[in-house]
Amino acid sequence: MRIKFVFVGFLFALMLMSCRVTKYVPDDQYLLNRVHFKSDIKGIGSDELKPYLRQKPNPGIFGKFRLQLKVYNLSGRDSTKKINRILRKIGEPPVIYSNDLTVQTRDQMQKFLANKGYINAQVKVTTALRKKKANLIYSVKGNEPYYIRNIRYDIDDDSIRSYIFSDTIGTSINRGNLFDVDLLETERQRLVSLLRRNGFYYFNRDYLYVEADTALNSNQVDITLKSRPMLQTKTDGTIERVPHRRMKINTVSVLPWYNPQKKMLEQIKDTVFYGGYIFFYDEKRQLKPSMLAEKTFIAPGAYYDEKDVERTYAALNTLGTTKYINIVFREVGGDLLDCYILISPTKVQNFSVEVEGNNTDGDIGTAVNGTYQHRNMFKGAEQLSIKARAAYQPMGELSNMLSNNSIDLSTEATLSFPKFMFPFLSKEVRQRVRASTELSASYNYQTNPWYARTILNSGLKYVWVTGSRNTERYTITPVEISYVYLPRISDDFKTNYLNASSILKYSYENHFIMSTGFSFSRNTGNPSKPLLSYFSYWGSAETGGNLLSAICSLTNAKKEDGVYKIGNIQYAQYAKGEIDFSENKIIDTRNKIVYHTHFGLAYPYGNADVVPFEKRFYAGGANSVRGWSMWTLGPGIYKSSTSGTDFMQVGDVKLDLNVEYRFKLFWVLEGAAFLDGGNVWTIRSYDTQEGGVFKFDSFYNQLAYAYGLGLRFNFSFFLFRIDAGVKLYDPSETGSERWCFPVNHNDIAYHFAIGYPF
């Protein structure tokens, strides 16, 4: 079967390679083959010029192999045949070179350069036509740019002049700057926002304009920022010029369950007055007025403030119950505005199931995850999330044992409140923090041939987001408590691995963990600018046992066997930190390269000689070095003597280095080629993990490497991933055996997962 599969794949590859890319290019036309850019302007290169291309070549994998075009070319000319229609649908027709679109591209580039201050810039197009292919080179010569010499503000309206002059220090344009139209537009928008934050509801960009004087016989420009008055129609039909008005908020009305397909009056069944706001409810009365009032920053009696409107949008959008929000203002005379906040709800409850899988050395492991969510548990936008997981993993050479597998069962419940729940805080403080409060509890049961383990966990978290698109997230965990109980440990496991000097002894005893932590994350991606490269990062830090240690010291508690115990159970004491960074380098709409690195460090001290097993790191798996399964790599050059003893292969230091090239294929299919490196190490030297200790002068020689290919099924709402990772360099081997050539089936690991690896 495997031979047949490889043979068919080989034949298909030959068919693709043999297809001429110009098969469907008419004789008197040319395939747009390549487009290059040359620019002598510093800071303006291909990334800045590409968006102005009116015609782009067919996309290719690694910039060369045009798979979609080749699939299209596999089709025959008879369009009545179904196979031909399918191939043309999933493929892509050739892009035919157009001289008109090339001229438009050149003109658009020249306009862009003029807006950047290079008014005399020249764009030259060199076209090479050969063998029905067209190669283009856009050459940019900037010439001498124009600079701003003087800046003047000419504001006739007394009502807005004082606001503009009071904040000129915040301007983004200065003498000596390039005459950049984008910067001028930024300054105009800044002043508009300044006025709209101070009550000028009707003020917009049309009321400000810029005059530029370039008739100076030099490459210098004098600019003047001017204002226009408001125009008002009188009762007799004539139009008069009037000063800009500051508007106050009269009333604020909220419709928490608004249906845009129905008339507003038909939806109002009840009216509630709370905190100065008016709430119009339907018969269900789904959201509490107290919660909505706390999320509303627009206050009756205050001047209109655009920032308050943005903050209200942001706060209400964080509620899991909202599908979309519309805030409408209506003038009611006397410089007053009535505000209406229309909240359309989303589906309150949902349930989802995910399936995972992996295959290493013929051992197929599977896992099923189920999630239930209720987004309005107590009618205050409280979110209840219940997750359950069941995982099965064969244990390799231990398959001849009676208990020849590993089973992992877990459940977790999280209840999130959309406010900062802390005593003695005012409404103003809670609004300013914009945080949510999470209570969680979980239960996990693990069983395998060596032991059975139960883990109970509960915690309190405060989570808040910042940024214009909620791109920054922070989490503070004041307290998290874990209790680990082992009802069964095999005698062989105790004898071989849990002797007095073993690193594992403490990890496989009943123990208690009480920790405090902090984490943060940020993503600079902008959906409105899909061709802009971006990065994301996250980090976390936590400590465990410090509060318990302080209590024991203050109460003069006595140590037992050299350690403090709570209820005859030793508690853990450690510090742990992680940092993760990814950069997404966008090549074009169908190709990108992702660089990823992850570093983690955990250190035991005080009441413990080893970090608890649950807090240690592992390498391998679908999101790490993909040539190994989870728990089977490291630490260092340590090599497990028994296949499947995954409990041994953890460490206190972790390093992952990954690079992945992602490309779109056709339909919902995406491909990936990757190179992974990484390992884990221990902080201290342990007899049972020989060769696992981290050393600065040798750790780089102990990095494991793997390469491979991946296939993704991107259905927009979720992504299913299959990765085949091949071992390239195995540090646990010796000599030339570290390099895994030739490749055998033991050197390949298959991973099935949901979502991208990083």
Return the DSSP state at 124: E
The top-scoring range by mean pLDDT among 408-417, 588-597, 643-652, 743-752 is: 408-417
Find out whether 594 and 552 touch, Cβ atoms under 8 Å: no
Nearest to 651 by CA among 607, 610, 687: 610
pLDDT at 715: 87
Beta strands in 423-510, from DSSP E residues, in sequence order: 435-447, 451-466, 472-489
pLDDT in tens, 526-582: 877 777 889 999 999 999 999 999 998 888 888 888 888 887 888 899 999 999 999
pLDDT band at 139 (very low <50, low <70, confident <90, very high): very high
pLDDT band at 5 (very low <50, low <70, confident <90, very high): very low
Half-sphere exposure of 591 (CA within 13 A, CB side): 14
pLDDT band at 648 (very low <50, low <70, confident <90, very high): low
In this predicted structure, the answer to whether residue 82 has a pLDDT above a threshold of 60 is yes
pLDDT at 359: 62
pLDDT at 215: 66
Neighbours of 340 (CB within 10 A): 18
Neighbours of 96 (CB within 10 A): 15
β-sheet bridge partners, residue 331: 337
pLDDT at 501: 57
* CB-count exposure of residue 286 (10 Å: 0-12, 13-18, 19+): middle
Residue the block writes with tokens 């003020």: 203
pLDDT band at 179 (very low <50, low <70, confident <90, very high): very high
pLDDT at 41: 93
pTM: 0.76
pLDDT at 499: 67
pLDDT at 52: 92
Across residues 38-46, what is the average pLDDT?
91
Average pLDDT, the chain: 87
Neighbours of 410 (CB within 10 A): 17
pLDDT at 302: 96
Across residues 377-386, what is the average pLDDT?
93
In this predicted structure, the answer to whether residue 282 has a pLDDT above a threshold of 60 is yes
In this predicted structure, the answer to whether residue 464 has a pLDDT above a threshold of 90 is no
In the chain, what percentage of residues exceed pLDDT 70?
Answer: 92
Strand 653-664 vs strand 669-681: parallel, antiparallel, or unpaired? Answer: antiparallel
pLDDT at 397: 53
| E strand or H helix at 270 | strand 270-274
**Interacting residues of 539 by C-beta distance below 8 A, sequence separation 6+:** 519, 520, 521, 577, 578, 579, 580
* CB-count exposure of residue 333 (10 Å: 0-12, 13-18, 19+): exposed
Identify the residue with better confidence: 512 or 601: 601
As a dihedral over the C-alpha atoms of residue 634, residue 635, residue 636, residue 637, rounded to 10 degrees, the angle is -60
In the chain, what percentage of residues exceed pLDDT 90?
Answer: 49
Residue the block writes with tokens 């999320």: 295
Across residues 374-392, what is the average pLDDT?
93
Identify the residue with better confidence: 747 or 249: 249
pLDDT band at 12 (very low <50, low <70, confident <90, very high): very low
* CB-count exposure of residue 429 (10 Å: 0-12, 13-18, 19+): exposed
Find out whether 621 and 598 touch, Cβ atoms under 8 Å: no
pLDDT in tens, 225-246: 999 888 887 777 788 888 899 9
Across residues 364-371, what is the average pLDDT?
86
> Phi and psi at residue 132, in whole multiples of 5°?
65, 25
pLDDT at 91: 85
The Cα-based distances of 536 to 57, 472, 518 in angstroms read: 30, 10, 18
Across residues 170-184, what is the average pLDDT?
87
Across residues 59-72, what is the average pLDDT?
80
In this predicted structure, the answer to whether residue 3 has a pLDDT above a threshold of 50 is no
| Contacts by residues 18-21 (CB-CB < 8 Å, ≥ 24 positions apart) | 19/70, 19/73, 19/74, 20/73, 21/58, 21/66, 21/69, 21/70, 21/73, 21/94
Nearest to 145 by CA among 111, 107, 180: 180
